[in-house]
Structure 1
Amino acid sequence: MLLNNTVSRLIQRVEKSIIEPCHLCGGRSNHSTMLCSACDDDLPSYQHRCEICAIPLPKLQYSLCGQCLAHRPAFDRVYSPYLYQAPVTNLIHQLKYQHQLHSLRLLGKLMSDYLQDQMQTMPDILIPVPLHRKRLKERGFNQASELALRIKKAMGIPVDNHLITRKKYTEAQTGLKPRQRKSNLAGAFKINKKFIPQSILIVDDVMTTGATAAELAKCLKRGGAKSVEVITLARADRR
């Protein structure tokens, strides 16, 4: 047992001493960020945003965007550390469409670090945006579920992949206009459990119009949730 513990500690020290290449350029990375200083500086973070949906706003203007003022969404708040711009777009595309799963640890860390800095109260559970079983079979994995598992590991928040499922196979949201996205998702989700936690954090990779998160939040609140917030790696323009 003593020998096993000694070997385990030695392996951990060696792992910590190994400098990973930067996940974007392949250069020498900072061990704590998994990116080199230049690529870390290139990440498109932003300060001025809608306090509800996190869409970027002009500097020193309103705290809420016009859409949230006119039609408050079902979710309570969105956390998005970055704009949907390069190099974040590259990381997301590599994950979703090229199945480069090695980037998950970096993306999960970026999201977890932002949550720990911004959230006042931790949620009861994480809910990854569910894929229809047909879409899951086509893609081979659910990137939202994989990201949620990385957040769970970093923050200790449980993940529930079964509380809500996508019962309707919908057309891909990419390329649809906001009104089409909303119509496409109507009635797409189904609650599978009688007990709904009071505080839920939805996990996804990117938010564009917010239609998916809004439909999920509406369904969860109808089932009894009091607070539904959203974490995505990136926030895109609604257009």
Structure 2
Amino acid sequence: MRVWKNWLSVWRETFFSLLSPMKEECLLCKQTSSDGVKQLGLCGACYMRIPWIRTVVCEICGRGERCFDCKRRHAYFSKSRSAVRYDETMKDLLARYKYRGDERLKTVLGQMLMHSFQLLEVNREALNGKFEIKKEYITFVPVSDQRMHERGFNQAEQMALELGRRVGIPVVSLLKRSRHTDKQSFKKRIDRLDDLEHVFEVDDDLVHKYIKSSSATSFLIYIIDDVYTTGSTMNQCAKILTVNLPIEVYGLTWAR
């Protein structure tokens, strides 16, 4: 009789658990909830805290407020768009992924990057066919060998692969880093410019394979990075790609 009761108890728990909403752990606050926003793996409360950039004020860098950086330098990229403002919540999210190695978050950030792409698509549609896209590729800001050894992955590459899978655009590694640099987030704008000079170069083999040997006559390249601060990194990468190549560059970053 006791065995029967134990079996009945287990059966009832299993039956009612199937009827109850599936509870999942939020990737941000790690609380268990049944009202999770499944497409991002976040609970409703954390999803509401995402500071999406809804309105673009600077047409060049996509900033949601007045921008002074774009007025004082030549941009080698046509436009750049970011998904969110880089507030304290987003800083914590990126730190967990980028510095503490929680690679589950690559899916979250990659999906959020779709918002950047959609903001850019609106502007491209507004061009009314002023240019013809022959070939599109997604590439990403490379990291140094030292940084790759420290982290074990390139966050920009992982986000690029996630975005490419969703929008159906091939991801190719067109850039490489010729030397290691210290973290740019702690430097002033002028120091960033000096530090990034001659840091990036094209991967000749892949550029020949996908660009020079292609039958297409013009290309549109999306460069992916995690955070756009002053745009120095994005601009240097775009500069390298547009020199002597029939390439138009657009930037897509997760945060601004």
TM-score by length of 2: 0.76
Q: Bigger radius of gyration, 1 or 2? A: 2
Q: How many angstroms does 1:48 deviate by?
A: 4.4
1:38-91, CA deviations, whole angstroms, 9 ceiling, x for partnerless residues?
211111123243111123325xxxxxx333233231111111011101321111
Q: Partner of 1:36 in structure 2? A: 43
1:110-160, CA deviations, whole angstroms, 9 ceiling, x for partnerless residues?
112442354147871111100122221122111111111111111111111
Instruction: State percent identity of aligned pairs.
Output: 30
Q: Partner of 2:4 in structure 1? A: none
8 Å contact from structure 2 (residues 37, 47) kept in 1? no
What is the CA–CA distance in structure 1 between the aligned matches of 2:197 and 2:43, rounded to whole Å?
A: 43
- Choose which of 18, 25, 31 in structure 2 pairs with 1:21: 25
- Choose which of 229, 232, 243 in structure 2 pairs with 1:208: 229
What is the CA–CA distance in structure 2 between the aligned matches of 1:19 and 1:155, rounded to whole Å?
A: 30
Residues matched between the structures, number:
213
What is the CA–CA distance in structure 1 between the aligned matches of 2:116 and 2:102, rounded to whole Å?
A: 23
What is the root-mean-square deviation of aligned Cα atoms in Å? 2.3
Structure 2 unaligned spans of 5+: 1-17, 126-132, 213-217
What is the CA–CA distance in structure 2 between the aligned matches of 1:139 and 1:185, rounded to whole Å?
A: 21
Alpha carbons of structure 1 residues 222 and 23: separation in structure 2 relative to 1, 3 Å: same
8 Å contact from structure 1 (residues 44, 86) kept in 2? no
Structure 1 unaligned spans of 5+: 1-13, 59-64
What is the CA–CA distance in structure 2 between the aligned matches of 1:92 and 1:115, rounded to whole Å?
A: 19
8 Å contact from structure 1 (residues 126, 159) kept in 2? yes
3-state SS in 2 of match to 1:81? strand
Asked whether 1:179 is paired with 2:190, we answer yes
Asked whether 1:224 is paired with 2:235, we answer no
Superposition pairs of residues 56-135 of structure 1, within 5 angstroms: 56-58=64-66, 65-116=67-118, 118-119=120-121, 120=124, 124-135=136-147
The residue type equivalent to 2:194 in the other structure is S
8 Å contact from structure 2 (residues 140, 175) kept in 1? no
8 Å contact from structure 1 (residues 52, 76) kept in 2? yes
What is the CA–CA distance in structure 1 between the aligned matches of 2:100 and 2:163, rounded to whole Å?
A: 22
1:169-188, CA deviations, whole angstroms, 9 ceiling, x for partnerless residues?
22221211001001001011
Instruction: Using the TM superposition, name which of 94-103 and 44-53 deviates more.
Output: 44-53
8 Å contact from structure 2 (residues 106, 159) kept in 1? yes
